[in-house]
Amino acid sequence: MKTKFLIAVSLIVLMSSCVKELESLPSTPNNTNSNVKATKMSEIKVPEGFKWQLSKEVDVNVSVNDNSSIQIIRIYNQNPADGGKLIATGAATSNKPFMAKISVSNTISNLYIQKTGLDNGKTAIVTPISGAIVNVAFNNNRTQKMGKTGSPDCSIGCNTTVNNPSGNLTYNAGNTVCLTGNINIGNLTIGNNTTVRICGIGSINNLNFNNTNAQLIITSTGNINFTSTTPIDGIFTNYGTVTTAANRNFNVNSNAIFTNNGVAQFGKNFNPNGQSVVVNNGSIEVDEKLINSSGCDFTNNCKLIVHNDFQNNGLFKNYGYIKCYEETTIQGGANNQFEQYNGAMISTKNIQVNGTITGIGTTSLIKVSAQSKGNSQGLVNGNQSYCDANGIEGPWNASISGGASQSCGLLIATNACNPEGNGNTSTPPADTDGDGVPDSTDEYPNDPNAAFNSYYPSKDGISTIAYEDLWPYKGDYDLNDVVVTYNYKIVTNASNVVVKVNGTYTLHATGGGYNNGFAVQFPINRNTVSNVSGATLEAGQSKAVLVLFSNMRNEMSQWNTVNGSAKSNVVNYSMSYNITSGPTLANFGLNEYNPFIWNGTAGFGRGYEIHLPYKQPTDLANSSLFSTGDDNTNLGMNRQYVSKNGGYPWAINIPVKFDYPTERSDINTAYNNFAAWVQSNGTQFNDWYTATPGNRNTANIFN
């Protein structure tokens, strides 16, 4: 609230009327995407027990039954290949699971959990969040499986079945045709959304698609040799075996889709052309050249072998193994992209890097047996090891940087998709600090007391806490009196015990008129904390309370809540401390902890704490203020910091960088679906704070 520095007696009157140092600003009705209409917080009917939470806490328990070694567990908020961010990392053994209490946005419905062994072999499980506990079990099968299950057959779902087909055949009735027995087809033409399944063995001379939605499926029992150059102009899915005759090309033309879940061997060149999609879940072997053209989207999940040259001009994502017996060329350009994910590998005789090869997720490998070259636009970056003793050889000037390193020591286990691997997986990997965690997966390889980093809300993620500061009286609910974004990095040792906490914070807005301080209470005893940096460990507390600032007016001169007015620069803070005999990650948790502000203005004082709904006050809170004014706190009933006559909060935590309302714009006038989220008890519009069309009234949002 924007008030002058008032004495306590006069403040009570002003608080009840929400006086600000501004003239009344117009507001705009909201909730245009729902049936709930509210222009101010007091019009919302809050369901009984609603906690105002935009995130959910989940206990994740990951067990392994591999008796050979420690296993490294990583938890992501979705597949990192699709932009998922790391949340938690730790160790598991056959007799000690990895356990973590995490907090994720209510918009997240699945977790991506990855296991890495000492041989750097990786497996992953995608698991739904169906309650407050997620249990995941990995078995000890480290062999990467080739192909996909679920092949259709010719026993059901066939509108027409032809046994021993031959001659020239055309199918365009829009149904499913199944071909069985001995296949001896001259010309096969498919059109008009027709699907042809082949369950037999034999040959096809010419293949024609008359419609991009026409489908050809080679089932797991199918084995077809194409005797002429084969153009794909529709949807081709292989679960069995596909070959082309010697000196015959396989061309995936524009807008076509080729998915290989089995074995494919092409007698000459493999040519994915512009705007086509290729996905390899099995084995593809090319006798001569593979040229991935501009506009083609190629994903290799398993084994790709090219006996001559391999050239990428389009989008290529490698999750598996690529073997090129001659030269691999990665071209540059705006439409070209080459990425390696989570232990993928390229093994090639020569390589020319004219574009960018980016490593994403856990470390991947580029292994060159002869010459490395590339022009000035060439770059190898991200999480990759580049194995060439000579590096990029002169006079070529491509570079290896941005997280990539020149090294041949990365262990890559052999499996069904990668028969080559890298390194001696029978020799224990290096563990410099002797904590049982290999250097390759140890974030602190020279420190036996630290091993892993975990994050809230995620690595590189940001959460926001926004306050009203008139407690114990209601405010105007523009939620901009104090606005702080933050991120936590929690360091654990090889036993998953928390040893250090790092916090980064940014003060964005100080829309209140009081001398508000900001601090965070953590779930550990004060006497376990040492080596505090960037904050003050508050005295008189049984729990650890770290104070970032005690008077926001000394931090930021402007409010940063009125568009068009003068602004202050945001203020950044970095805090850290060590913990002695700390809790496990499961007990410490990864969440917002207990951030709060207090009104340090004369006549108020340190006891005027304002917390998130249902969070506990600290030892220094003035308990005599509870249940006064509009406050409805009752510690005995575990009800804290919600109001009488409505159950409204004084603070809210948003699991992203929040674009807060302008001065005196009730949050309902800035976010159209806020009221509907509340009145649905959080079951609808969980993304009300995002830029999803219809969510925002930008006129009432500060920019």
pLDDT tens, position by position, 42-62 = 999 999 999 999 999 999 999
The yes-or-no verdict on residue 163 having pLDDT over 80 is: yes
Given 328, 349, 370, which residue is the final one in a domain?
A: 349
| Amino acid present at 337 | Q
**Do 617 and 639 contact (CB within 8 A), yes or no?**
no
Write out pLDDT tens, residues 579-614: 999 999 999 999 999 999 999 999 999 999 999 999
40 and 75 inside one domain = no
Whether 361 is in a domain gets the answer no
Q: Is the pLDDT of residue 232 over 90?
A: yes
Joined tokens for residue 254: 């524009």
Predicted confidence (pLDDT) at residue 323 exceeds the cutoff of 50: yes
**Confidence category of residue 335, pLDDT binned at 50, 70, 90:** confident
Clarify whether residues 257 and 294 are in a common domain: yes
CB 574, CB 427: distance < 8 Å:
no
For residue 300, give the nearest of 342, 256, 242 by alpha carbon: 342
Identify which has the larger pLDDT, 371 or 5: 371
Amino acid at 650: W
DSSP-assigned states of every residue in 274-335: TT-EEEESSEEEESS-EEE-TT-EEEESSEEEESS-EEE-SEEEESSEEEEEEEEEE--STT
**343 and 456: one domain?**
no
Q: How far apart are CA 293 and CA 309, in angstroms?
A: 14
User: Tell me, what's the pLDDT at 588?
Assistant: 98
Residues 6+ apart with CB under 8 A from 604: 8, 11, 514
Residue 498 β-bridge partners: 492
Residue 457: is its pLDDT beyond 60? yes
Give whole-number Cα distances, 481 to 213, 465, 570, in Å: 56, 11, 14
Question: Could you tell me whether strands 498-509 and 482-492 are parallel, antiparallel, or unpaired per DSSP bridges?
Answer: antiparallel
pLDDT at 478: 98
Structure-token pair, residue 159: 């509108």
CA distance 371 to 349: 7
**Contact indicator for 102, 87 with CB cutoff of 8 Å:** yes
Pair 115, 234 in one domain: no
Over range 356-369, report the average pLDDT.
93
How far is 339 from 357, CA to CA, in rounded Å? 6
The residues pairing with 238 across neighbouring beta strands, listed in sequence order, are 218, 260
CA angle (348 as vertex; 342, 351 as ends), nearest 5: 100
User: Same domain for 119 and 194?
Assistant: no
Tell whether 490 and 626 lie within a shared domain: yes
**What was the pLDDT predicted at 564?**
96
If you average pLDDT over residues 488-503, what whole number do you get?
A: 98
User: What is the structure's pLDDT at 27?
Assistant: 38
Provide the percentage of residues in the chain whose pLDDT is more than 90.
84
Which residues contact residue 160 at a Cβ distance below 8 angstroms, ignoring those fewer than 6 apart? 175, 176, 177, 178
Find where tokens 């055949």 sit: 169
Whether residue 16 is predicted with pLDDT greater than 80 in this model: the reply is no
The reported pLDDT for the residue numbered 119 is 63
Least confident stretch, 22-26, 304-308, 504-508: 22-26
Decide: helix, strand or coil at residue 592.
coil
67: left (phi over 0), alpha (psi -120 to 50) or beta: alpha
Tokens 């060329």, residue located: 329
Written as six digits, the tokens of 166 are 């031959």
pLDDT above 80 for 276: yes
Residue 121: which pLDDT band, with cuts at 50, 70 and 90? low
Pairing type for strands 182-190 and 166-171 reads parallel
Q: How many CB atoms lie within 10 A of CB 539?
A: 8
Which pTM was predicted?
Answer: 0.64
Q: How confident is the model at residue 66 (pLDDT cuts 50, 70, 90)?
A: low
Q: Is residue 445 within 8 Å of 432, Cβ to Cβ? A: yes
- 3-state class (DSSP) for residue 252: strand
Residue 418 falls inside a structural domain: no
How confident is residue 68, by pLDDT bands cut at 50, 70 and 90? Answer: low
598 plus 529 within the same structural domain? yes
Q: Are residues 200 and 227 located together in one domain of the fold? A: yes
Domains in the chain: how many in total? 3
Residue 676 lies in a domain: yes
* Residue 438 counted as domain residue: no
- pLDDT tens for residues 101-120? 999 999 999 999 999 877 66
Q: In which band, very low, low, confident or very high, does the pLDDT at 89 lie, cut at 50, 70 and 90?
A: very high
- Of the two residues 147 and 375, the one the predictor is more confident about is 375
* Residue 338 clears pLDDT 50, i.e. is over it: yes
Query: Which of left, alpha, beta for 180 (phi over 0: left; psi -120 to 50: alpha)?
Result: beta
Question: Which residue, 327, 349, 371, sits at the end of a domain?
Answer: 349
Residue 102 sits in a domain of what CATH number? 2.60.40
pLDDT of residue 462: 98
pLDDT in the model for residue 273: 96
In a 3-state reduction of DSSP, which class is residue 699? helix
Question: Can you tell me the distance from the alpha carbon of 408 to that of 410, in angstroms, rounded to the nearest whole number?
Answer: 6
What is the DSSP secondary-structure string of 208-233? EESSTT-EEEE-TT-EEEE-S-EEE-
Q: How far apart are CA 54 and CA 655, in angstroms?
A: 7
**CA dist list (Å): 411 to 319, 340, 365, 647:** 16, 16, 9, 56
Tens of pLDDT, residue by residue over 459-483, are 999 999 999 999 999 999 999 999 9
What does the alpha-carbon distance between residue 301 and residue 319 come to, in Å, rounded to a whole number?
5
- pLDDT tens column, 543-586: 999 999 999 999 999 999 999 999 999 999 999 999 999 999 99
Question: Same structural domain for residues 82 and 18?
Answer: no
Q: Is the pLDDT of residue 6 over 90?
A: no
On whether the CB atoms of residues 284 and 303 are closer than 8 A, the answer is: yes
Q: If pLDDT is split at 50, 70 and 90, which confidence band does 34 have? A: low
Q: How far is CA 685 from CA 31, 658, 694, 695, in A?
A: 11, 16, 11, 9
Per the structure, the complete domain to which residue 602 belongs is given by 8-52+452-700
pLDDT band at 672 (very low <50, low <70, confident <90, very high): very high
Which letter does DSSP use for residue 249 in this model?
Answer: -
How far is residue 375's CA from residue 398's CA, in Å, rounded to a whole number?
5
Q: Which residues pair with 537 in a beta bridge?
A: 546
What is the full DSSP assignment across 163-211? ES-EEEEEE-SSSEEEEESEEEEEEEEE-TT-EEEE-SEEEEEEEEESS
Average pLDDT over residues 373-388: 95
Half-sphere exposure of 562 (CA within 13 A, CB side): 16
Give the CA distances from residue 310 to residues 377, 385, 412, 460, 489, in Å, rounded to whole numbers and listed in that order: 19, 20, 22, 35, 41
Residue 588 in any domain: the answer is: yes
Residues contacting residue 138 through CB under 8 Å, at least 6 positions apart: 62, 63, 64, 65, 66, 71, 115, 123, 125
Q: Which residue type occupies 363?
A: T
Asked if residues 454 and 585 have their Cβ atoms less than 8 Å apart, the reply is: yes
CA 218, 222, 224 angle in degrees (round to 5)?
80
Residue ending a domain, among 349, 376, 395, is 349
Q: Are residues 30 and 111 in the same domain?
A: no
Burial class, 149, CB count within 10 angstroms (exposed 0-12 / middle 13-18 / buried 19+): exposed
Q: Are residues 103 and 199 in the same domain?
A: no
Quick: pLDDT tens for 233-266: 999 999 999 999 999 999 999 999 999 999 999 9
Averaged pLDDT for residues 432-444: 94
Q: What is the pLDDT of residue 120?
A: 67
566 shares a domain with 660: yes
355 in a structural domain: no
